[in-house]
Amino acid sequence: MAYDQTLADEVRHALAGEPGLSEKRMFGGLSFLVDGTLAVAVRGDGLLVRVGADAAEELAGTTAARRAVMGARTMAGWLDVPADALGSEPEVTAWVGRGVAWARTLPAT
């Protein structure tokens, strides 16, 4: 699956200066990891964001994000954020920040 290069650059910009950052192709796109823990990925023209189960439940009910599905499995704690919900730099930065905040709660791998 191809991913949106412009969105990937916006994510890189939002992550500028983040310690322990790495990039890896996975989940059909480009993933951004913090200390080895996936925080956010660009898939197609949207984002896959890891926020934890409680936040995913709330955000799926209050934003355009929806629970992420991989194959036949709904991924607890993960959200797909569609391109139309990422219209501005502050929106991208906010979603990236949510993913980084969650990744920072987990042990480094």
pLDDT along the chain (109 residues), means of 10: 90 95 92 95 95 94 93 92 91 96 90
* Amino acid (1-letter code) at residue 81: V
Buried b (16+ CB within 10 A) or exposed e, 69-95: eeeeeebebbbbbeeebbeeeebbeeb
The answer to whether residue 64 is domain-embedded is yes
User: 37: domain CATH number?
Assistant: 3.90.1150
Cα gap 105→64, rounded to integer Å: 24
For residue 72, what are the contacts with CB-CB under 8 A and spacing of at least 6?
A: none
Cα gap 94→6, rounded to integer Å: 17
The answer to whether residue 21 is domain-embedded is yes
For 14, the domain range is: 5-103
pLDDT in the model for residue 1: 61
The answer to whether residue 63 is domain-embedded is yes
The answer to whether residue 47 is domain-embedded is yes
Residue that has been written with the tokens 């949207």 in this structure:
46
How many separate domains does the chain show?
1
